[in-house]
Amino acid sequence: MLTRRQMLKAGLAGGGYALLGGGYVLLGPGRSRRVFADQLPSSPPTTPFLEELPIAPIAQPVARFATRPDPTNCVNVDGTTAIHVSGPRVVPTNAQFFLIHERQALHSFHPRLPPSSVWGYNGMVPGPTFLGRSGTPVLVRFVNDLPTNDPVGIGEPISAVHRHGGFQAPEDDGYPLDTFCTGQSRDYFYPQTPAPNVFGLPNPEQNEESTMWYHDHAIDITGPNVYRGLAGFFLNFDEVDSFLGEEDPNPRALRLPGRMRGQVREFDIPIVIQDKLFDQDGRLVFDTFDHNGFLGDKFVLNGKIQPFLRVKRRKYRFRFLNGSNARFYQLFLRNGGPFDFVIAADDHLFPRPLLNQKSIILGPAERAEVVIDFSRFPSNTEVILENRLEQDDGRKPDSLVSTGTPLLKFIVNGDVADPSRVPDTLRPILIGPAQILPFVTVKRTFDFERSDGAWQINGEFFDENRINAKPKVNTAEIWTIKSGGGWTHPVHIHLSSFFVLSRNGSSPLPLERARKDTIDVGAFFTQEVKILAMFPRYTGSYVFHCHNIEHEDMRMMAQFENQP
Partner 1 sequence: MTPPRTALALALIIALGAAGCSERPAAPPQRPPAARAAPAPPDPVATIRDRHLPNIELVTHEGRRVHFYDDLVRGKVVAINFMFATCRVACPLATEHLVEVQKSLGDRAGRDVTLLSISLDPERDTPEVLRGYAEAHGVGPGWYFLTGKRDDIEMLRRKLGAYELDPVIDADPKQHTGIVILGNEPAGRWKAISVLSKPVRIRQAIERTILPATQWPTGEAVVKESPREETEVGKELVQPGDLADLPVRD
Q: Which of residues 180-199 bind partner 1 (CB under 8 A)?
A: 181-183
Check binding of 7 to partner 1 (CB under 8 A).
no
63 scored as a contact of partner 1 (CB under 8 A) = no
290 binds partner 1 (CB under 8 A): yes
Does residue number 461 form part of the binding site for partner 1 (CB under 8 A)? Answer: yes
Closer to partner 1 by CB, 94 or 465: give it. 465
* Alpha carbon distance 188, 174 (integer Å): 8
* Using rule CB under 8 A, residue 429 touches partner 1: yes
CB of 342 to partner 1, least distance (A): 14
Beta-bridge partner residues of 187: 141
Q: How far is the CB of 301 from partner 1 (least distance, A)?
A: 21
User: Which bin fits 229, alpha (ψ -120 to 50), beta or left (φ > 0)?
Assistant: left
Site for partner 1 in 345-404 (CB under 8 A): 351-352, 393-395
Which CB atom, from 243 or from 479, has the smaller least distance to partner 1? 479
Among 29, 36, 261, 402, binds partner 1 (CB under 8 A): 36
CB within 8 A of 472, min separation 6: which ones?
A: 535, 562, 563
Spatial distance between the Cα atoms of 487 and 531, rounded to a whole number of angstroms: 19
> At its nearest, how many Å lie between partner 1 and the CB of residue 150?
9
Interface map 469-488 toward partner 1 (x if CB under 8 A): xx-------x------xx--
Residues 249, 262, 378, 453: which binds partner 1 (CB under 8 A)? 453
Report whether 374 contacts 311 (CB < 8 A). yes
- Rank residues 47 and 81 by Cβ distance to partner 1 and give the closer one: 81
Candidate residues 37, 63, 66, 417; the one interacting with partner 1 per rule CB under 8 A: 37
Q: Closest CB to partner 1 among 160 and 235? A: 160
How far apart (Å, rounded) are the C-alpha atoms in residues 359 and 366? 14
Encode 141-165: b = buried (16+ Cβ within 10 Å), e = exposed.
bbbbbbeeebebebbbbbbbbbbbb
Q: Which stretch binds partner 1 (CB under 8 A): 67-75, 164-172, 197-205, 328-336?
A: 67-75
Candidates 4-12, 206-214, 360-368, 551-559; binding stretch for partner 1 (CB under 8 A):
551-559
Least distance CB 563 / partner 1 (angstroms): 10
How many residues form the binding site for partner 1 (CB under 8 A)? Answer: 101
In the bound state with partner 1, the residue whose beta carbon lies nearer, of 95 and 158, is 158
How is residue 9 annotated by DSSP? Answer: H
- Dihedral class, residue 458 (left if φ above 0, else alpha if ψ from -120 to 50, else beta): left
Pick the binder of partner 1 from 281, 356, 414, 416 (CB under 8 A). Answer: 281
What residues from 84 to 123 belong to the interface with partner 1 (CB under 8 A)?
85, 106, 111, 113-117
Binding segment (CB under 8 A) for partner 1, from list 35-43, 229-237, 318-326, 376-384: 35-43
Residue ranges in 194-233 that form contacts with partner 1 under rule CB under 8 A: 219-221
Site for partner 1 in 492-531 (CB under 8 A): 499, 501-502, 505-508, 513, 530
Whole-number Å distance between alpha carbons of 243 and 399 = 39
Element (H, E) at 8: helix 4-13
Q: Indicate whether 437 belongs to the interface with partner 1 (CB under 8 A).
A: yes
Q: Are residues 559 and 466 in contact, defined by beta-carbon separation less than 8 angstroms?
A: yes
| CA neighbor of 119 nearest in space, from 75, 71, 152 | 152
CB-neighbour burial class of residue 416 (10 A; exposed 0-12, middle 13-18, buried 19+)? exposed
The answer to the question of residue 435 lying near partner 1 (CB under 8 A) is no
Report yes or no: 448 and 556 within 8 Å, Cβ to Cβ: yes
Please enumerate in sequence order all residues whose Cβ is within 8 A of that of 42, keeping only pairs 6 or more positions apart, or say none.
1, 2, 3, 4, 6, 7, 8, 23, 277, 297
How far apart are CB 187 and partner 1 at their closest, in Å?
17
